[in-house]
Structure formats: C-alpha cells, structure tokens
Amino acid sequence: MLDLRTQEGRYARDICDGIAADLGGAPNAAQQILCQIFALKVLRIQLLVPTILTRESVNQHTENYCLAWMNSARRDLQALGVLDSRTGNDALFSTHPADMTDEQLDTALALIERRQPGLSCSEENESGEIEPAEREVSPVARDKAGL
C-alpha cells in the first residue's frame, strides 16, 4: 500500500478519487480494486516517462514494461466503463438524487442551469415569480377552433 503522506501516494489517491467521481462517486468493491490497480500503473508510468523522454539509459525491458502498463491501464478504464460514456456527467445523471452527495447535487444543478435558456422578461411577473409561458396554437388549430 502506498503511503498517502508522500507525493506519489497523494497522486495515486487523486487518480482513484477522479475515477470514483467518473463512476458516480460510489464504486463497488471490484471497481475500487480496479481503481487502485489503475492508479499504481499510472503512477509507475508517470515515474518512467521523464526518463524515457530525456533519452537516459533505459533498457528495452523497461520500455516494454511501460508500454504494457499503458495498454493495461487502458483496458482497466474500459473494464470500469469510464471510456464508454459520452461525457463525464453521464454517471452523475444516472445516479438517483437521493443517493447523491451535496457536492454531486450542486454540480448536477449547476449543469442543469447552464443547459436551460435564460428567461425573457415577459415570463417573470412583478413579484419575481416565473409564470408559465403561454402555449402557442398552430394556425390549423386556430381555424378549427374558430379563433
């Protein structure tokens, strides 16, 4: 187990937390294990990348391990299902509001508010309450109704 007091431990924890958020905030036991394994692979890759990029002496086995961890990390993400979603918000909106944390509820409400168009002045009455917009009647319906 990683020491969470170290920079590496905090990095791995942040990766696990990010994946957990993508999964809706409450991963089951199997997902938690996959998250931890994924975080360790990504940490090892991140520790090797600077060495590989500076062309310091790295043997072929080390490069092969790094490539294998990269491919394995991608497969972990596929197994967790985080690559399948169109947006990172799909998991959030698939969670029932009663099961959401306060932070998730705030995020969901902010996203919903951004999606809704602004209200026109005619939809707000003097007390500041929003009145329902009048439904437009099509010309065909007007003719049938004698309007």
Summarised one tens digit per residue, pLDDT across range 10-37 is 888 999 888 888 888 888 899 999 999 9
Using alpha carbons, select from 106, 104, 97, 82 the residue that is nearest to residue 22. 82
Give the tokens for residue 134: 């009048």
Integer Cα distance of 23 and 56 in angstroms: 38
The ranges assigned to domains in the chain are 7-96
The sign of the dihedral angle between the CA atoms of 62, 32, 24, 78 is positive
Summarised one tens digit per residue, pLDDT across range 110-145 is 877 776 555 444 444 555 555 554 545 555 555 555
CA angle at 76 for the pair 72 and 79, rounded to the nearest 5°: 135
- The pTM of this model reads 0.54
Give residues with Cβ within 8 angstroms of 49, minimum separation 6.
66
